[in-house]
């Protein structure tokens, strides 16, 4: 195994390359996401709403969902990068120029568990 395969985010169990690979497979194989990338290209509105219920129930993505909940500050930028790379792969350098420095932002919503703000504990800081 090469060193890149084992790259983890300090203080977590997040394997960066594995997380990227799993999310890449999700956005390519889930029926709803390739059309959303085309929609972003057409509208030039650079955000991708990520339905977390779909992520959690997609084969092989449960661990990524759990990492998203526990380490959102680490996982969301990884997702942003994967979506950006896939967008450029699909639509080419012209699409990157059209972005004018705007990166696509992944916006997670529809979590499996929702807590009221007043019910949160200090241990919930930095989690979704």
Mean pLDDT value across residues 66-93? 94
| pLDDT tens by residue, 1-25 | 444 567 777 777 789 999 999 999 9
CA angle 72, 74, 78 (to 5 degrees): 105
- For 54-66, give one letter per residue: b (16+ CB within 10 A) or e: bbbebeebeebbe
Return the bridge partners of 107, or none: 49
| pLDDT tens by residue, 37-78 | 999 999 999 999 999 999 999 999 999 999 999 999 999 999
SS3 annotation, 12-56: CCCEHHHHHHHHHHHHHHCCCHHHHHHHHHHHCCCEEEEEHHHHH
Confidence at 102, pLDDT banded by 50, 70, 90: confident
Gap between the Cα atoms of 90 and 45, Å rounded: 16
pLDDT of the residue at 97: 81
pLDDT of the residue at 116: 64
pLDDT of the residue at 13: 78
Fold of 3-112: mini-chromosome maintenance (MCM) complex, chain A, domain 1 (3.30.1640)
pLDDT of the residue at 12: 75
pLDDT higher than 60, residue 85: yes
pLDDT of the residue at 89: 95
What is the crossing angle of helices 72-99 and 62-70, to 10°? 100
Gap between the Cα atoms of 18 and 59, Å rounded: 14
Gap between the Cα atoms of 104 and 33, Å rounded: 13
Gap between the Cα atoms of 41 and 88, Å rounded: 10
pLDDT of the residue at 124: 62
pLDDT of the residue at 60: 95
């Amino acid at each position: 195994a090469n060193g890149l395969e084992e790259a983890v985010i300090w203080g977590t169990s997040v394997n960066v390359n594995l997380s990227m690979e799993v999310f890449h497979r999700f956005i390519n194989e889930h029926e709803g996401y390739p059309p959303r990338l085309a929609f972003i290209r057409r509208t030039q509105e650079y955000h991708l709403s990520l339905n977390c219920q779909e992520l959690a129930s997609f084969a092989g993505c449960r661990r990524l969902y759990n990492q998203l909940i526990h380490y959102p500050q680490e996982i969301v930028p990884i997702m942003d990068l994967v979506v950006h790379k896939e967008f450029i792969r699909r639509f080419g350098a012209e699409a990157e120029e059209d972005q004018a420095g705007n990166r696509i932002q992944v916006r997670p919503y529809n979590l499996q568990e929702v807590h009221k703000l007043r019910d949160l504990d200090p241990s919930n800081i930095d989690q979704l």
